[in-house]
Amino acid sequence: MVARSGRVRAILAAGLVLGVGATVTLAAWNDSEFVTGTFQAGSFNMQGSTDGAAYSDHASAPGAALGFSVNAANLSPGDVVYAPYAVRLAANTSSPATVTVTAPSTSGTVANLTYSLIQPSTFGCSAATTGTTLVPTNTAVGSVPGTVTFALAAGTPTTNPGTAVPLCFVVRAGAGLTQSQTGTATWQFQAASN
């Protein structure tokens, strides 16, 4: 019996030693790696131009004054007037954008005036202007049909602005235009970074 209990104690002691040895061996194979991420927000700024050359910010209404091809202050029924505009992302903008055209806010009387908005390939706006129709002909001034969007590309941040997107406003005076009618419409282009 003594011999047997001695063997049991020897086996238990060996097991304890093996257990301690296994713990030390596992601890010797631990390792850690650490990484740090630094985060900084980019910049975002859209600019507009009525001449396709000089761009600046028009962040609040009434914004830039559209230069119509004929005197929009002397309309008669059947007249059509054209005004170019362009938008781009400024050089300090680090991501592209989707621009949404919102329904214009109006004041005075804009009844019997309709418009369309075209995205031509080059800056300029006349009866000969063609391109992507963003707002179809005969849309009432003061409305936008559905959701109207277009894309703006970012340039090289801090170096070059993004490529400008030219736009062409075409406004038509309807047969019901009344004498001395006066009204204004202010369109808003809302850019959201992608």
Q: What is the pLDDT of residue 105?
A: 86
If asked whether residues 163 and 72 sit together in one domain, one would say yes
Inside any domain, residue 85: yes
pTM over 0.85: no
Secondary structure of residue 9 in the 3-state scheme: helix
- Find the helix or strand (DSSP H, E) in which 178 lies: none
pLDDT, tens digit, 9 for 90 and up, residues 43-66: 788 899 888 889 888 877 777 888
Q: What length is written for the chain?
A: 194
If asked whether residues 25 and 55 sit together in one domain, one would say no
Domain that holds residue 7: 1-31
Inside any domain, residue 11: yes
pLDDT, tens digit, 9 for 90 and up, residues 110-155: 999 999 999 999 999 999 999 999 999 999 999 999 899 999 999 8
Inside any domain, residue 40: no
